[in-house]
Amino acid sequence: AQSVAQPEDQVNVAEGNPLTVKCTYSVSGNPYLFWYVQYPNRGLQFLLKYITGDNLVKGSYGFEAEFNKSQTSFHLKKPSALVSDSALYFCAVRDEVTGGGNKLTFGTGTQLKVEL
Amino acid sequence: KAGVTQTPRYLIKTRGQQVTLSCSPISGHRSVSWYQQTPGQGLQFLFEYFSETQRNKGNFPGRFSGRQFSNSRSEMNVSTLELGDSALYLCASSRGVEGAAGNTIYFGEGSWLTVV
């Protein structure tokens, strides 16, 4: 069965500093990986995805993610954090073997807090 | 282009009642999936519909059901509500083309259900 792990419940970073939110995955087929952000009392907003190709994926709001197959990781990064980036971040995986279905398996989420 | 629209946004129900939530996917999207989000269990997949057929189902009791109409709009129903059903219910849509596992999945703002 596919699974996603986000080892950190919370990440604190100062504004202007680089940030990393960690994600590792386990799938039986090819991994299709996604990052979403959730602001308080809101739904999930799509940030970026890895399907195939370049290991560095660029997404919305200056975020990027690095896919590492050997370490089965897909860490979210941003070179310079903003206070407005403070939110809950979810990593998710869709396993190719689900037969075209759109079932996502989510991590437990990482609360990002960016302070002045 | 309009995003995924969910109604109602907030509702309060009594134990034992039933509830129906509605979701209108992004225009052109044929796959609609539903997720339950709670503080304790996180984001859990309920089911997915594609072209009016249930394509995937999560591990929820039969009290949770759904359907999809010919215009791709979807509803989910929860019967005999329990206190533990209090949650944010998220709808997501995707093009859902068979074999295109890289399609982006977009989420709505969710329906907040409180069972008292």
Q: Evaluate if residue A98 carries a pLDDT over 60.
A: no
**A45 and B CB contact within 8 Å:** yes
Residue B16 C-alpha, separation from nearest chain A C-alpha, in angstroms: 26
A105/B107 Cβ within 8 A = no
Residue B19 confidence (pLDDT): 98
Residue B95 confidence (pLDDT): 84
What string of pLDDT tens digits covers the 116 residues of chain B? Answer: 689 999 999 999 999 999 999 999 999 999 999 999 999 999 999 999 998 999 888 999 999 999 999 999 999 999 999 999 999 999 999 986 655 667 889 999 999 999 99
Residue A103 confidence (pLDDT): 85
Q: Distance between alpha carbon A112 and the CA centroid of its chain, in Å? A: 12
CA atoms of B5 and B7, how far apart (whole Å): 7
More confident residue, B68 or A97: B68
Q: Can you state the percent helix, strand and coil of chain B, rounding each to 5?
A: 5, 50, 45
The SS3 call for residue B89 is strand
Of B6, B97, B105, the CB nearest to A104: B105
Residue B99 confidence (pLDDT): 55
Residue A28 confidence (pLDDT): 83
* Per-residue pLDDT tens over the stretch A27-73: 888 889 999 999 998 999 999 999 888 899 999 999 999 999 999 99
Residue A112 C-alpha, separation from nearest chain B C-alpha, in angstroms: 16
